[in-house]
């Protein structure tokens, strides 16, 4: 009987990840269902590993992958129960809060990696030139920052009125971007991902981000919002 215990213990150890999470046979990233991955953990995964971890979360909830290679890979495991006709949106609705955050973190890391590889080719989006920032292009401006004055000085209401609506909107979003707000609108997210200073923090609400603004940024946010309403 003593000889039979050893292999059973060995199987138990092999079926458990380093974090102590029980893994189903063939499951590579079981921790994505029990806790939110840290920034360091996500950074330590390469592109292929992040993609696999994301697909594994979808596989747990029965997504029938269109990519046959991915489908065949998961069909090897008895825990994968694909649901024909189940859309990706329906599959996402089955995620737990932890899984949703992990998909967001893993996906964002891929976006940031892609953005960094294209940094040399990145061209900042054009903003109408109704108003010219006195700091843009100076040593006080961060690379790719259009309105550094919104963190440096209190804006004059009449000066802000000289901005086009698109400039005001961009300046408001830039304030939130500096503080790591993860924009839900993909066009906005991609707009700022080209700047190395943009460090989005998944899971932080706009209210939480707003609480981190400096007194100058809060005052300028109010001025910009009021000026948009006045025009």
Q: What is the pLDDT of residues 97-142, one digit of tens each?
A: 999 989 888 887 766 665 544 444 444 445 555 688 888 889 999 9
50 with 42: CB under 8 angstroms?
A: yes
- Residues 126 and 199 both lie in one domain: yes
Secondary structure tally for the chain: helices H, strands E? 12, 0
Task: Give the residue with greater pLDDT, 203 vs 13.
Answer: 203
The range of the structural domain enclosing residue 88 comes to 10-117
- Residues 141 and 222 both lie in one domain: yes
In a domain, 1, yes or no: no
175 with 212: CB under 8 angstroms?
A: no
In a domain, 5, yes or no: no
- Residues 107 and 173 both lie in one domain: no
In a domain, 2, yes or no: no
- pLDDT at res. 10: 28
- 37-46, 51-60, 110-119, 128-137: range with lowest mean pLDDT: 110-119
What are 189's two structure tokens? 């997210």
pLDDT in tens, 211-222: 999 999 999 999
What are 3's two structure tokens? 């000889």
How far is 41 from 106, CA to CA, in rounded Å? 10
169 with 231: CB under 8 angstroms?
A: no
Whether this prediction's pTM lies above 0.75 is answered by no
Q: How many other CB atoms are there within 10 angstroms of residue 151's CB atom?
A: 19
- Residues 141 and 203 both lie in one domain: yes
What is the number of domains present in the chain?
2
How far is 210 from 141, CA to CA, in rounded Å? 21
């Amino acid at each position: 009987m003593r000889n039979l215990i050893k292999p059973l213990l060995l199987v138990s150890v092999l079926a458990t990840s380093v974090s102590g999470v029980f893994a189903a046979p063939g499951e590579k990233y079981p921790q994505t269902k029990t806790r939110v991955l840290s920034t360091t953990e996500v950074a330590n995964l390469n592109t292929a590993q992040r993609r696999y971890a994301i697909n594994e979360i979808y596989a747990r909830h029965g997504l029938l992958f269109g990519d046959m290679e991915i489908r065949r890979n998961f069909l090897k495991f008895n825990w994968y129960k694909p649901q024909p006709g189940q859309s990706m949106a329906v599959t996402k609705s089955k995620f737990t809060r932890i899984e949703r955050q992990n998909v967001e973190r893993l996906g964002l890391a891929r976006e940031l990696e892609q953005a960094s590889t294209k940094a040399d080719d990145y061209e900042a989006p054009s903003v109408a030139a109704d108003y010219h920032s006195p700091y843009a292009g100076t040593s006080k401006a961060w690379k790719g920052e259009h309105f550094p004055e919104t963190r440096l000085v209190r804006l004059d209401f009449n000066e802000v009125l000289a901005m086009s609506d698109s400039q005001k909107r961009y300046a408001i979003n830039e304030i939130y971007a500096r503080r790591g707000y993860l924009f839900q609108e993909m066009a906005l997210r991609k707009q700022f991902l080209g700047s190395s200073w943009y460090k989005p923090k998944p899971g932080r609400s706009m209210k939480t981000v707003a609480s981190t603004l400096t007194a100058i940024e809060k005052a300028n946010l109010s001025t910009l919002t009021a000026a948009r309403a006045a025009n």
